[in-house]
Structure 1
């Protein structure tokens, strides 16, 4: 009995978290030799979460040096970077952003050998998919783009031709663009984007420059902290029915593939925003951007300011003690950082899905391809949805929300196994010149 009590006590003990909470740097340094920096407390906070929310700069530095994860969320759904933006210390935000990018690169490199092997084992093919974007805001819907992506795959090389360069809920850029991934080259050389109109190409940078990091910090400090998720655990499917008098399960051809239609239930985009770190001027600028969007106009981004955003005054120290913090019910603890100014919304979407058991590619194979072309934002949403437990077959036609005001209809309209794709498809024409700044967002 006594042994069990000791075990329970140790499970509720968070020495590293407690030392950070109390600002005991010496103890933090000692504990980092043995403690797991990834461990979450009962509120889902890692040691890094606490260090950021409490403004313990030295602790933040020590934790990052010991590999504390930045892309991890607490029970409220916020990452240490989100809490750093709220706290408002520029140096801390910059350190976390750099470490986040470094950890993302390292994770990709760990995954890379398995990804290259999966691509090599997959047969060579040509795939065509169409994107149609639409919105429940009529004026926005009228000017939203559509795009046909043409994808060639040979060995561990992928080529994608597209007319949609960049797309988000504020702007989009059209063009004649080719993306090339060559898995045989080293990471810094493996990703290339070509502008076929200007006849230039850009290597997708493996690491950002100092000025690019600083630009991104400026944007983070002047924008809402946003957490947008598409929860998949609530999504269910039922067979779509057709007919007037005698309804039957709906089955139609999508391209040359016989497909069963389903209605998607529980499809929603949940969005949470925090703005306690923003000035009145920031709020007015951001409001003007959103009003412009709702009227169907796209505002151009203003020229980058020469002056950098400064740190804002830190929040008042929390009035909660460590004992009160750790003994409170999970997720019910008083917020430790700046007083929250938040808004939560959920937009539900009506959508259909067409599944075909005749489509010759598997979802797993497509996921490997989508992982390679992740720099294109819209493909991340497609990849996220593809990881849902879908009905039997391959999703040849589907609808997914990509932003709170925008949904995308994606149709896999053509597929064929190809045995004679020329190598020249995966190389840059000799007449193209390198322009390292053609695509600043990639």
Structure 2
């Protein structure tokens, strides 16, 4: 029998064996080709196997050897029902991960004094006109007991649009996951709990969007990364230090970091490509309003790609990577990321605590990028000011500009005001 019985059963489309091996094997293990069983089921069009694997905990966010998630490979294949199932499951798994980490995060929060923190975001672009239009944001963070609140004015931020508003993010570590994470729209006076399932309309709209736009992967390539102290002065060069609020910080230049952007579009029609291209062009000319404001038509499943004719033995024993599914249409762009980072030695919170806080703030994509940077092997200390690539054309300068211990933070900040109404479709991203 194969040493990868689950993968082999998926490859052969044997539903009975897939069900059996899901209980006996690691459902998220990767084969020598770098695929999980779910990647394989999606790429081969094994719809029944996909559903069995999802029911048994297969990770939708798992990446294969090429760096693509199961959801992205499903978009490439183009089966609408499979994409819909994976989007729903991904939301559930995100919720499950928050609940799993909640006791740890709550314990950490309880162990540290209550505080108030301000984080400033200044967005920049190498596209000249765009740089002038990009927003800034001041996030105000309050911590009391096992609770955390963040106030922000940036409702949404993507490669081609952003939306201003008045948002509050609340995490209450004393509650179950059903009420632990909430987003408040203080202008509309509505709130939304983190959802296990998307409403049918929201789900269908998201699937339409995924099936009609580029798949984009943005990552930091950091294998040769190193840091050197920044220098100041014309004649007598000295190590540079910056004053950030009341804190002194040593400034370092970051070397060897590249931003690698990959875009796939084999699932798109020529009409999709032209529409998206026009959208980007209007954005770079200074217009942030979507010129295609009408709803996208419901997308139909694409015709399945041609069978490869590859056998299981060919696949599992090959030293070369096989790709199943429709031919990949991908463009890759690599840009050197020149940046500096200011490290403070006496900041009141640690890098590990910062990572825990960033883990909580998962609905905000820019905090996810900051987390990626902080997880690098930085010089010792706290990154009080740093430049972070958040999108293919956009970087952000993030500054932790104020921190104060507070014992007068009102508990009401972590409660939903009585005059707010619940709206579970206000924030489709959570």
- Shorter-normalised TM range: over 0.9
Which residue number corresponds to residue 247 of structure 1? Answer: 237
Seen in structure 2, the aligned counterparts of structure 1 residues 200 and 267 have a Cα distance that, compared at 3 Å, is: same
Which residue number corresponds to residue 60 of structure 1? Answer: 50
Q: 1:84 is paired with a residue of what secondary structure?
A: helix
Deviation per CA, 1:243-284, whole angstroms, max 9, x where unpaired? 111111111211111111000112222111111111111111
Quote how far apart the aligned CAs of 1:235 are: 2.6
User: Is residue 150 of structure 1 aligned with residue 140 of structure 2?
Assistant: yes
Asked if structure 2 preserves the Cα contact closer than 8 Å seen for 1:289 and 1:299, the reply is: no
Quote how far apart the aligned CAs of 1:435 are: 4.0
Asked if structure 2 preserves the Cα contact closer than 8 Å seen for 1:122 and 1:365, the reply is: no
Deviation per CA, 1:119-178, whole angstroms, max 9, x where unpaired? 111210011111110111010000000111111110011121222221111111112322
| TM-score, normalised via structure 1 length | 0.92
Which residue number corresponds to residue 45 of structure 1? Answer: 35
User: Is residue 193 of structure 1 aligned with residue 183 of structure 2?
Assistant: yes
User: Is residue 349 of structure 1 aligned with residue 349 of structure 2?
Assistant: no
Asked if structure 2 preserves the Cα contact closer than 8 Å seen for 1:187 and 1:206, the reply is: no
Deviation per CA, 1:77-97, whole angstroms, max 9, x where unpaired? 122221111111111111222
Seen in structure 2, the aligned counterparts of structure 1 residues 49 and 437 have a Cα distance that, compared at 3 Å, is: closer
Distance 1:32 1:363 in 2: 38
Largest Rg, 1 or 2:
1
Distance 2:185 2:101 in 1: 29
Quote how far apart the aligned CAs of 1:100 are: 2.0
Alignment partner of 2:414 out of 420, 426, 430: 426
Asked if structure 1 preserves the Cα contact closer than 8 Å seen for 2:60 and 2:89, the reply is: yes
Which residue number corresponds to residue 265 of structure 1? Answer: 255
Distance 1:370 1:161 in 2: 14
Asked if structure 2 preserves the Cα contact closer than 8 Å seen for 1:163 and 1:174, the reply is: yes
Alignment partner of 1:303 out of 278, 283, 294: 294
Distance 1:323 1:228 in 2: 34
Distance 2:207 2:228 in 1: 45
Distance 2:256 2:411 in 1: 44
Distance 1:18 1:394 in 2: 47
Asked if structure 1 preserves the Cα contact closer than 8 Å seen for 2:88 and 2:197, the reply is: no
Asked if structure 1 preserves the Cα contact closer than 8 Å seen for 2:199 and 2:425, the reply is: no
Quote how far apart the aligned CAs of 1:352 are: 0.6
Within 5 Å, which residues of 2 pair with 1:82-231?
82-231=72-221
Deviation per CA, 1:101-128, whole angstroms, max 9, x where unpaired? 2222222211111111111112100111
Quote how far apart the aligned CAs of 1:206 are: 4.2
Distance 1:435 1:18 in 2: 45
Distance 1:274 1:365 in 2: 36
Q: 2:169 is paired with a residue of what secondary structure?
A: strand
Alignment partner of 2:273 out of 268, 275, 283: 283
Q: 2:24 is paired with a residue of what secondary structure?
A: coil
Seen in structure 2, the aligned counterparts of structure 1 residues 190 and 29 have a Cα distance that, compared at 3 Å, is: closer
Seen in structure 2, the aligned counterparts of structure 1 residues 80 and 195 have a Cα distance that, compared at 3 Å, is: closer
Distance 2:367 2:44 in 1: 37
Distance 2:104 2:47 in 1: 38
Which residue number corresponds to residue 393 of structure 1? Answer: 381
Alignment partner of 1:292 out of 258, 273, 282: 282
Distance 1:288 1:441 in 2: 25
Seen in structure 2, the aligned counterparts of structure 1 residues 69 and 192 have a Cα distance that, compared at 3 Å, is: closer
Asked if structure 2 preserves the Cα contact closer than 8 Å seen for 1:378 and 1:402, the reply is: yes
Q: 2:88 is paired with a residue of what secondary structure?
A: helix
Seen in structure 2, the aligned counterparts of structure 1 residues 440 and 20 have a Cα distance that, compared at 3 Å, is: closer
Asked if structure 1 preserves the Cα contact closer than 8 Å seen for 2:98 and 2:360, the reply is: no
Quote how far apart the aligned CAs of 1:211 are: 2.0
Runs of at least 5 residues in structure 2 that lack an aligned partner in the other structure:
none
| TM-score, normalised via structure 2 length | 0.94
- Cα RMSD of the aligned pairs, angstroms, is 1.9
Seen in structure 2, the aligned counterparts of structure 1 residues 247 and 207 have a Cα distance that, compared at 3 Å, is: same
